[in-house]
Amino acid sequence: MPDLAAQIARAETRIFKAVFPNTTNHYDTLFGGATLMLMDEVAFITATRFSRLKMVTVSSDRVDFTHPIPGGTLVELIGNVVRVGTTSLQVRVELYVEQMYSDERLLAVTGSFTFVAVDEHRRPTPVRPMGAAN
């Protein structure tokens, strides 16, 4: 069984997306709901890669939109496990916006998502085996 730090490091997830017109609002910026969907997806993948168990989202905690994400840009979403409980874990997601034709890059959105590991009956189950190394 890998130690906790190694397991967390291996679970880091990075996904890139282009911001196309079908995901923008009337201000030509990424629609907030689309942003949350992308962030939850990255958080879910991160949680699953960490645990290799069935994971369900139980909460999206604080999400801060600090900069608009214009159409025609690229976004990178990075998910990292930041807390591991008995049956749950918390994933922090950072969304960076990049200009398509320059090196300009800016942290635009951060959020925290909590997941619970569930068994075949959809009941909470330990996220790490008993006796796993810390």
- Containing 4, the helix (H) or strand (E) segment is helix 4-11
pTM of the model: 0.93
Whether 127 is covered by a domain: the verdict is no
The alpha carbon of 43 is separated from its chain's Cα centroid by a whole number of angstroms, namely 3
Residue 92's CATH number: 3.10.129.10
Residue 30 is part of which domain span?
Answer: 4-118
Q: Please give the tally of structural domains in the chain.
A: 1
Q: Which tens digits make up the pLDDT trace of 99-120?
A: 999 999 999 999 999 999 999 9
The whole-angstrom separation of Cα 74 and Cα 71 is: 9
Residues 6 or more apart whose Cβ sits within 8 Å of residue 46: 11, 12, 13, 79, 80, 81, 91, 93
Report the pLDDT value the prediction gives residue 41, as an integer from 0 to 100.
98
Higher pLDDT among residues 128 and 130, named by residue: 128
Whether 133 is covered by a domain: the verdict is no
* pLDDT bracket for residue 15 (50, 70, 90): very high
The whole-angstrom separation of Cα 83 and Cα 91 is: 7
